[in-house]
Amino acid sequence: MQLYNKLSAKERAELIENAGKERLTLSFYQYANIGNPQILRDHLFLTWDALDVLGRIYVATEGINAQLSLPADRFNAFKTHLDTIEFLKDIRLNIAVEQDNMSFLKLKVKVRKKIVADGLNDDSFDVTNKGVHVAAETFNELIEDENTVLVDMRNHYESEIGHFKNAVTPDVDTFRESLDIIEDDLKDHKEDKNLVMYCTGGIRCEKASAYFKHKGFKNVYQLEGGIIEYTRQVKENELENKFLGKNFVFDDRRAEKISEDIIANCHQCGKPCDTHVNCANEACHLLFIQCEDCKTELDNCCSTTCKDINALPFEEQKALRKGQGNSNDIFKKGRADHLPYKKDLRNIFETLKKK
């Protein structure tokens, strides 16, 4: 019984191209109490592999987090299968704003300790006791309230290329870092301010909303379905779009354009740019923002050093990497010291200070 992906990304890409079928990219999550995540994991893999589903899915005792693509003509069969699982019946599916047949090239279903790493060890914290979900229209009204503090629950490299107007964008590399920072900065306003949060698809701010309720915040809200669902509702209901720039996504597309605004800059020359790339030097692979001019000049690399290494024959590159771990820069995601125009966000709650 095959329970793991055996095809390489290149082999899968060729199959997708030869199939000639349009694929849908979508995501969903659900917090739930799952007794045996491994059994559910194996069941999902076997069923979804047969439907030609590709993507990255995490299962844990606290629920499921899925980002995936599948042939459009198998969507109904996929939805029917979800409805056979009690806690996934009629679940909202976030259809991607921009589609790409190659958004995912492998099916990975993994059992994790948690579907969103939070660093918390508090048995009294109930992740299902969440804040109030609000749709796009109500969200737009709520964030105009002078008693509202709007917080972006994503990481710095996500908010750098796109965020809501007047949102607080904590300077963090991980979700777990943001929880203590936000609580500390807003500790004197647990009762008199509306704490409104958003993220890509809703999963992070849903956990955060439950956490901040647990910590004593009285008026906690989250944008239902995150930026993805907000964009759909804005278009469908002809609402004002209050999001600026692109929505960062964790697949090969890297981002979806939500507005025409370019709010970021090339990390190498400073020109307006919001295109994330990975350094072509496999020993580096740094994620950073690069314009077309710098891409051409540096051969898709983040520095002249990486450019020189990447120009070497493959076997020489491989020999240089032997016994070496990835550079720590790979984890800096656009904040490596050698990038002269990296953005220094800092954690300043200016929105709150002005109110």
For every residue of 48-95, DSSP letters joined together read HHHTT-EEEEEEETTEEEEEEEEEGGGHHHHHHHHHTSGGGTT---EE
Closest CA to 63 of 90, 43, 83, 35: 35
CA–CA distance, 195 with 213 (Å, rounded to integer): 10
Nearest-angstrom CA–CA distance, 180 and 345? 17
Q: How far is Cα 144 from Cα 132, in angstroms, rounded to an integer?
A: 17
Structure token pair of residue 55: 């993507």
Residue 280 has a CB neighbour count (10 Å cut-off) of 18
Extract the runs of DSSP E, i.e. beta strands, from 235-339: 243-248, 255-257, 276-278, 287-289
Amino acid identity at 261: D
Q: Which residues lie across from 162 on neighbouring strands?
A: 245
Q: Two tokens at 210?
A: 């439950």
Cross-strand bridge partners of residue 245: 162
Output the DSSP codes for 265-282: B-TTT--B---EEE-S-T
Query: Shortest CA distance to 342 belongs to which of 155, 156, 152, 153?
Result: 156
Whether 302 is a known active-site residue: answer no
Strand, helix or coil at 17?
A: helix
CA distance 163 to 184: 22
Active-site annotation holder among 199, 205, 279, 284: 199
Query: Which residues are catalytically annotated?
Result: 199
